[in-house]
Amino acid sequence: MIRRLAIIGVGLIGGSLARALRNAGAVGEIVGCGRGKENLDKAVELGVVDRYSHDVGEAIRGADMIFLAVPLGAMRETFAAMKGHLSADAVITDGGSAKFSVIDDCREVFGEVLSNLVAGHPIAGTENSGVEASFAELYQNRRIILTPTAETADDALARVQAMWQACGGEITLMSVEHHDEVLAATSHLPHMLAFGLVDTLAQMKENDEIFRYAAGGFRDFTRIASSNPVMWRDVCVANRRALGKMMSHYLNEMQELAQTIERGDGEALLEIFTRAKQARDRYIDGVLDSTE
C-alpha cells in the first residue's frame, strides 16, 4: 500500500498508473505535478489525482512513492528539482522509454545513483497523450521492465514490484544496457519506420492523392506515427547509440531487399516473406497465449 504517490507528468503513462492503483485500492493520496494547468485541472476533475502542484519539491513532500512520467528530456531537471525535498522513506521510479539516460541524469544531479531509485519501463502505451488518454487497464497483463543497478536497495525494488503487480503488470528484471538494445529493436526502430514513411509520403507533391488511396495496411503500419513528437525526439536522443546501430542494420536489410526486387528474384523474396510471416505468427500466438 502506497501512502502518498507523487506523479510528475500526469499524462498517458502517469495518469494510467494513478487510475490503476486507485482501482486496486493500493494507494492513499495521489499528488500530481506538471506544467499545464488545463491538463492538471482535468486530472483532478477525472479523479486521477487528488490535488496538484506545479512545483516538484512541493508535489513530492511526504510522498513515499514518486513516479516520473515526463518525457526523457525533462528527467534531469526533474531530478534537480527533487533535490533536498525527498522524504526519508521515498522510493523513486519512472516510466521512461530508455533507461541509461535516466540513470545517468540521476548520477549527474545527485553525484551518485541513488539506492532508492528503481528505473523502469512499462511496455504498454498508445499513440495518444495527456491525462484524458489514460486508462486503468493499460498495464493489465503487460510486461513491466525494471532495471535495478548495483546500488538499488532490495526494499525499494520490492516496493516498486508490488506497485506494478497491483496494476496487473508482469515484471521482468533486466540490465540497463540490455533494455536499451532490446527496446531500440522492438519499439524505437518501428516508430522511426512509421514516422519516416509518413513523412516521405507527406512531402511528395501528390500526397493528397496518395493518402486518399491509403487503406488498412497503411493505417495499421502508421498508427504509431501519430505519437507525441516531443516524446519521440527525446527517446531518439536518449537512446541514439543503440537506435543508430539498429537503424544501420535495418538499412542494410532494406538495401538487400531492394536489390532482390530489382533482380526480380521471386524465389528469394518468397523465402524472406515466409520467414518473416512465420516469425510474426509465432509472436502473435505467444501474445495471445500470454493474455488468455
Ligand X SMILES: O=C(O)C(=O)C[C@]1(C(=O)O)C=C[C@H](O)C=C1
Ligand Y SMILES: NC(=O)c1ccc[n+]([C@@H]2O[C@H](COP(=O)([O-])OP(=O)(O)OC[C@H]3O[C@@H](n4cnc5c(N)ncnc54)[C@H](O)[C@@H]3O)[C@@H](O)[C@H]2O)c1
Interface ranges with ligand X (CB under 6 A): 97, 123-127, 187, 224, 227
Residue 183, CA atoms < 13 Å, CB-side half-sphere: 29
Instruction: Judge residue 149's burial from the number of C-beta atoms within 10 Å of its C-beta, 0-12 exposed, 13-18 middle, 19 or more buried.
Output: middle
Binding mask 96-135 for ligand Y (x = CB under 6 A): xx------------------------x--xx--xx-----
User: Closer CB to ligand X, residue 223 or residue 277?
Assistant: 223
How far apart, in whole angstroms, are the C-alpha atoms of residue 80 and residue 108? 9
Binding mask 174-203 for ligand Y (x = CB under 6 A): ------------------------------
Q: 180, 183, 162: which is closest to 171 by C-alpha?
A: 162
Q: Does 144 bind ligand Y (CB under 6 A)?
A: no
User: Closer CB to ligand X, residue 60 or residue 180?
Assistant: 180
How far apart, in whole angstroms, are the C-alpha atoms of residue 95 and residue 166? 16
The nearest distance, CB 119 to ligand Y, in angstroms, is 11
How far apart, in whole angstroms, are the C-alpha atoms of residue 152 and residue 210? 52
Q: Does 69 bind ligand Y (CB under 6 A)?
A: yes
User: Closer CB to ligand X, residue 96 or residue 148?
Assistant: 96
User: Closer CB to ligand X, residue 134 or residue 227?
Assistant: 227
The partner in contact with residue 224, picked from ligand Y, ligand X, none with C-beta cut-offs of 5 to 8 angstroms by kind, is: ligand X
The nearest distance, CB 47 to ligand Y, in angstroms, is 17
The secondary structure element, H or E, covering residue 2 is strand 2-8
User: Closer CB to ligand X, residue 58 or residue 127?
Assistant: 127
Out of 6, 8, 103, 160, the residue judged to bind ligand Y by CB under 6 A:
8
In Å, how far from its chain's centre is CA 191? 12
The nearest distance, CB 186 to ligand Y, in angstroms, is 12
The nearest distance, CB 113 to ligand X, in angstroms, is 21
Query: Do residues 96 and 117 make contact, with C-beta atoms less than 8 angstroms apart?
Result: no
Q: Does 32 bind ligand Y (CB under 6 A)?
A: no
Out of 39, 101, 147, 161, the residue judged to bind ligand Y by CB under 6 A:
39
Q: What are the DSSP calls for 105-159, one per residue?
A: HHHHHHSS--TTEE-EEES---S--SGGG--TTTTTT-EEEE---TT--HHHHHH
How far apart, in whole angstroms, are the C-alpha atoms of residue 292 and residue 107? 41
The partner in contact with residue 55, picked from ligand Y, ligand X, none with C-beta cut-offs of 5 to 8 angstroms by kind, is: none
Q: Does 231 bind ligand Y (CB under 6 A)?
A: yes
Query: Do residues 103 and 119 make contact, with C-beta atoms less than 8 angstroms apart?
Result: yes
Instruction: Give the list of residues 6+ apart from residue 204 with CB closer than 8 angstroms, or none.
Output: 210
Q: Does 235 bind ligand Y (CB under 6 A)?
A: yes
The secondary structure element, H or E, covering residue 236 is helix 229-238
User: Closer CB to ligand X, residue 123 or residue 268?
Assistant: 123
Q: Applying CB under 6 A, which residues contact ligand Y?
A: 8-14, 33-36, 39, 69-72, 74, 77-78, 95-97, 122, 125-126, 129-130, 228, 231, 235
